Each structure stands twice: as structure tokens, then as C-alpha cells.
């Protein structure tokens, strides 16, 4: 019975499903599903690539190679215009009139110093005081001598008056009158001498006050209270007359010949964000034989940033020049200097090194590097490289 049961189970009856047959029959279906999914994915990818390729072909403008979009770039032909001729120079700031103030008298010990660097002073203002006790006593003595001389002169005048009253009566000779006149005149002369001596001493005392010769700005002070000073002590103060400054701009021999007195200039101190307007007030009559340079002295009104001894640059407007004028956006710069991009006959970008002149609201003048007839990239220079091909779009010159 058991054997038969086993035999029958080796061949299952119709409609009976065993666990083993279920596993065997499910494997072909899973394989077919995987194949179908792979085929569908391949079709989808193919369709996406097909439509993408058609879209790319449609986006390529006419006149291009089908592989790369050629950008449209605005260009300008600047021509030539009358623009100011600017001459650049650098130099040292200084007081236009540097007034050294020292000891005018015999000197002595300084008792007080009344001015500091940076102070504004008036003409005749006392800057320092020198001890004067000896000179003051001398002045008192001379003042007393004047009183004595005046008393002698008054007595001599009285003697003369009495003599003249008696001469008509014959009591006094004419010779006595002449002697009394001489005595009176000598007494008056002694009064004047004493007065002159007193005035001289007072003038010497006045010179013990070190005073400013003109209104201005104190630049330097080189004296302290208690210091012994004299005529050989040198300058105790330096004053810029009225605070006026100047820039001694060093220019080449060629540029110096184009500069004249009165032309305007702009001065920019190193480290400052401000510029100052001035004018050339003196042009050097000689040129240094070593450097081949000469100084153009530019007068500038006082400003806190203008400190004597500092360094500054200057732009001097020396007439007009015929040159191309470009917008600032057209001019690029790197470690090699300033340049622009021009478009050649094959519509390719070419770098052109330039030298710029004046920069103003009108634009940037080009001193050298352009003739004015080139096609210059207007604003897209930062996004281009030499050799790039473009579609130029010409705009009218402003």
C-alpha cells in the first residue's frame, strides 16, 4: 500500500498542482517580463535621443556649422574725435612757499613755544618767546637817560631865553648867546640819541619774539622750551604760506615742451580716493641731464590729504588731440596692460593692445593702438577669447 502510494505520487493526477511544479512554471514568465522591460527602456532612450537631436538641429541658426552656436556680439567703429590731450606725471608734494622761521636777533633761552605743527597762524603772530630780562633792564636805563637828557635840554633852553632877554641891555655879549644856543642844541641832540638808543633796545627785545612772517600753516617745529638758540640755530619753524601746496611733477623732456603756465591739472595723492584740481604755475627752465626729466610745478589749494613730502600723481590737460573714443566697457585690462577686442575680416576676435588717455563721462580716449576704423567689441569682451568666431552686430557710434 505504501509502495503504490509512492508510485502514484511520482505521477500526479490531472489538475493537481504541487509546490515543485509551481516554481518550475514561474521561471519562464519572470524571464519574459525582464526582457520586455529592457526592450521598452531601450526604445524610450532611443526616442529621447532622437527628439533631442532634432531639437538641437533646429536651434542652430543659419550660417553655422551645426556643432557650435556662434554668438551675436555688438561691435562699434569708433572713428576719431577731438579729445583732451592728457600728460601723466608723478612727483612729491610740497608747500608752494615754504617759509623757514628762525632767530632774527641775538637769541637766548627759549621760555615758551606757542605754535605746533598743523596750527594756522596769522602774520606777525608770536610762535616762540626768548628770555629778555637783561634787555628789559637796559630799556629802563635808556628810558631814564632820556629823562636826564630832556632835563638838560630844558635847562639849556631856559639859559638861552634869559640870555636873549639881557643881550639887548648889553649885559651879555653876542658870543655868550651863541654858546648858549649851542648848549641848547647839544642837549636836544642828547635827548634824540637817548630816544634812539631806547628804540633800538626795544626793537632788539621785539626780535626776541619769534613771529610768523605771513599767514599760513605750521608744517614743522624744531625748538623746545629751555633750548638756547641764536642766529646760527637754523630754522625753528617751517610755515606754508596761506597753506598753499604744490606737486613737483616729473615729466619727460617731450611732455615738458607741451606744458605751459596756467593749464589745468588733476592731482591724486597716493592712498587717497579724492582728486584735487590745480593748475601749472611754473615750468622748469632746465632738464636734468641724467634723468632727462624736468619739473612742472602744479599749485593746489590746501586740503588735509595734501601732506608735504607725500607722493602723488597728476594728469595735465595739454590741449586737444584727434583720437578714437570708446566706452569704458570696451576696454579690458590684465597684467599685460590695457587692450580691446577687434573683429577681423573672418569675424574672429583678435586682441589689440592699446594705450589709454583721458577717462571722462564721454568715454576713454585711445592714444595709441587703434586707428579708429577697426570693428571693436562693445561690451562682451569679458566673455570672449582671442580666436572666437562671432556674428558681429554693428551699432551706431555715440
Structural domain contains residue 65: no
Q: Please indicate, yes or no, whether residues 41 and 153 belong to a single structural domain of this protein.
A: no
Is the separation of the CB atoms in 372 and 353 below 8 Å? no
Structural domain contains residue 66: no
CATH of the domain at 218: 2.40.50.100
Structural domain contains residue 4: no
Q: Which domain holds residue 192?
A: 132-207
Q: Please indicate, yes or no, whether residues 316 and 248 belong to a single structural domain of this protein.
A: yes
Helices (H), the chain: 2-10, 19-59, 133-167, 174-206, 253-256
Q: Please indicate, yes or no, whether residues 218 and 117 belong to a single structural domain of this protein.
A: yes
Is the separation of the CB atoms in 96 and 238 below 8 Å? no
Is the separation of the CB atoms in 304 and 240 below 8 Å? no
Query: Among residues 273, 300, 320, which one ends one of the domains?
Result: 320
Q: Please indicate, yes or no, whether residues 119 and 224 belong to a single structural domain of this protein.
A: yes
Q: Please indicate, yes or no, whether residues 196 and 310 belong to a single structural domain of this protein.
A: no
Structural domain contains residue 8: no
Phi and psi (nearest 5°) for 238? Answer: -125, 130
Q: Please indicate, yes or no, whether residues 108 and 169 belong to a single structural domain of this protein.
A: no
Structural domain contains residue 285: yes
For residue 374, is it left (φ>0), alpha (ψ between -120 and 50) or beta? beta
C-alpha cell at 248: 613737483
Of 191, 23, 207, nearest to 105 by C-alpha is 207
Q: Which pTM value belongs to this model?
A: 0.56
Structural domain contains residue 7: no
CATH of the domain at 166: 1.10.287.470
CATH of the domain at 363: 2.40.420.20
Task: Give the separation between CA 239 and CA 220, rounded to whole angstroms.
Answer: 7
Question: What's the distance, Cα to Cα, between the start and end of the chain in Å?
Answer: 115
Task: Give the separation between CA 321 and CA 372, rounded to whole angstroms.
Answer: 13
Q: Please indicate, yes or no, whether residues 124 and 148 belong to a single structural domain of this protein.
A: no
Structural domain contains residue 233: yes
Q: Please indicate, yes or no, whether residues 224 and 281 belong to a single structural domain of this protein.
A: no
Number of structural domains in the chain: 5
For 250, 271, 326, the CA distances from 311, given in Å and listed in that order, are: 12, 9, 31
Q: Please indicate, yes or no, whether residues 153 and 193 belong to a single structural domain of this protein.
A: yes
Query: Among residues 267, 294, 320, which one ends one of the domains?
Result: 320
Q: Per residue of the chain (398 residues), what is the pLDDT tens digit?
A: 343 444 334 444 444 444 444 444 456 676 777 777 777 776 766 665 555 544 433 333 444 444 568 889 998 898 888 777 778 889 999 999 999 999 987 888 999 999 999 999 999 999 999 988 888 888 888 889 888 888 888 888 888 877 777 776 667 777 777 888 888 888 899 999 989 998 988 888 888 889 999 999 999 999 999 999 988 888 999 999 999 999 999 998 888 888 889 999 999 998 888 899 999 999 999 998 888 899 999 999 988 888 899 999 998 887 777 888 888 888 998 988 999 999 998 999 999 999 887 777 778 888 888 988 889 998 888 888 899 999 888 887 65
Q: Please indicate, yes or no, whether residues 283 and 305 belong to a single structural domain of this protein.
A: yes
Q: Please indicate, yes or no, whether residues 287 and 182 belong to a single structural domain of this protein.
A: no
Q: Please indicate, yes or no, whether residues 153 and 199 belong to a single structural domain of this protein.
A: yes
Q: Report CA Rg, the chain.
A: 51
Query: Among residues 162, 191, 207, which one ends one of the domains?
Result: 207
Structural domain contains residue 344: yes
Amino acid at each position: 500500500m505504501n509502495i503504490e502510494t509512492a508510485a502514484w505520487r511520482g505521477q500526479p493526477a490531472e489538475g493537481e498542482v504541487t509546490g515543485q511544479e509551481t516554481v518550475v512554471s514561474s521561471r519562464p514568465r519572470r524571464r519574459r517580463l525582464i526582457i520586455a522591460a529592457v526592450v521598452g527602456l531601450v526604445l524610450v532612450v532611443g526616442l529621447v535621443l532622437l527628439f533631442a537631436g532634432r531639437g538641437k538641429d533646429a536651434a542652430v541658426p543659419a550660417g553655422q556649422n551645426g556643432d557650435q552656436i556662434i554668438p551675436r556680439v555688438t561691435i562699434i567703429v569708433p572713428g576719431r574725435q577731438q579729445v583732451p590731450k592728457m600728460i601723466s606725471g608723478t612727483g612729491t608734494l610740497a608747500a608752494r612757499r615754504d617759509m623757514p622761521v628762525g632767530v632774527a636777533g641775538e637769541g637766548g633761552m627759549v621760555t615758551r613755544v606757542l605754535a605746533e605743527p598743523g596750527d594756522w597762524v596769522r602774520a606777525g603772530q608770536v610762535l616762540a618767546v626768548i628770555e629778555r630780562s637783561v634787555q628789559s633792564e637796559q630799556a629802563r636805563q635808556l628810558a631814564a637817560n632820556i629823562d636826564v637828557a630832556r632835563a638838560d635840554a630844558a635847562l639849556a633852553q631856559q639859559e638861552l631865553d634869559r640870555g636873549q632877554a639881557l643881550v639887548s641891555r648889553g649885559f651879555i655879549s653876542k658870543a655868550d648867546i651863541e654858546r648858549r644856543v649851542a648848549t641848547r642844541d647839544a642837549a636836544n641832540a642828547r635827548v634824540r640819541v637817548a630816544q634812539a638808543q631806547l628804540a633800538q633796545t626795544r626793537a632788539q627785545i621785539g626780535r626776541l619774539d619769534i613771529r610768523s612772517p605771513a599767514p599760513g600753516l605750521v608744517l614743522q617745529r624744531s625748538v623746545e622750551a629751555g633750548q638756547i638758540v641764536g642766529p646760527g640755530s637754523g630754522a625753528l619753524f617751517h610755515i606754508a604760506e596761506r597753506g598753499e601746496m604744490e606737486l613737483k611733477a616729473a615729466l619727460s623732456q617731450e611732455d615738458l615742451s607741451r606744458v605751459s603756465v596756467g593749464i589745468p591739472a588733476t592731482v591724486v595723492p597716493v592712498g587717497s580716493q579724492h582728486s584735487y584740481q590745480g593748475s601749472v604755475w611754473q615750468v622748469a627752465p632746465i632738464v636734468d641731464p641724467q634723468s632727462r626729466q624736468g619739473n612742472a610745478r602744479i599749485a593746489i589749494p590746501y586740503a588735509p590729504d595734501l601732506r608735504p613730502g607725500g607722493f602723488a600723481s597728476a594728469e595735465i590737460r595739454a590741449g586737444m588731440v584727434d583720437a578714437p573714443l570708446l566706452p569704458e566697457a570696451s576696454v579690458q585690462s590684465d597684467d599685460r596692460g590695457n587692450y580691446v577686442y577687434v573683429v577681423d575680416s573672418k569675424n574672429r576676435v583678435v586682441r589689440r593692445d592699446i594705450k589709454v588717455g583721458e577717462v571722462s563721462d564721454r568715454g576713454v580716449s585711445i592714444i595709441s593702438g587703434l586707428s579708429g576704423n577697426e570693428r571693436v567689441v562693445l561690451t562682451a569682451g569679458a566673455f570672449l577669447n582671442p580666436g572666437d568666431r562671432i556674428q558681429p552686430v554693428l551699432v551706431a557710434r555715440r
